[in-house]
Amino acid sequence: MPNTKQNLVGKVFGHLTVIAKSDERGTQNEYKWLCRCDCGRLATVSTGQLNSGQTTSCGHVKARNLESGGQHHQSLLGDKPPVSNKTGYRNISMTKRNGRWRYRVSVQYNRKQHSTLVDTLEEALAARERLREKWWPGYKNKDKL
């Protein structure tokens, strides 16, 4: 049985510091706590989420990773191909369309895939750069990994 007398005020859980017990209750009548994140935002989090480590920020950490050009996305743009890649170039694969082999260039951004088909490897490399510049804001300004 969970400890209902637990006082979390003043304790720190990742980026969150508990500042008060909330009047709000969770869906299973569990206590919730008012927390201040390192970024300054307030968040209401249940005892279980804090103690288990399931919630450690207001969400700003996840949002920062999703920003355009963030380190998270830049790592996807490195030129090292995955081990399963047969062309030797990242974001470029071979596909057979209408009985002939073509190069497929595909760049992903915000969970959307942007791709094109070309006939030669040189065209594929140029198309990859165009797609990266178009769909990855600030791509040319970042150091490639």
Beta pairing partners, 36: 17, 42
| Residue range(s) in the chain whose domain bears CATH number 3.30.160 | 67-141
Is residue 8 within 8 A of residue 50, CB to CB? The reply is yes
DSSP helix/strand/coil, 22: strand
Query: Does 67-141 carry CATH code 3.30.160?
Result: yes
Closest CA to 58 of 88, 85, 37: 37
Q: List, for residues 66-116, the tens digit of each pLDDT value.
A: 454 444 445 555 667 776 777 888 889 999 888 999 999 988 877 788 899
Q: Which two tokens stand for residue 106?
A: 């595909």
Mean of all residue pLDDT scores within the chain: 80
- Residue type at position 62: K
> Closest Cα to residue 57, out of 41, 70, 69, 76?
41
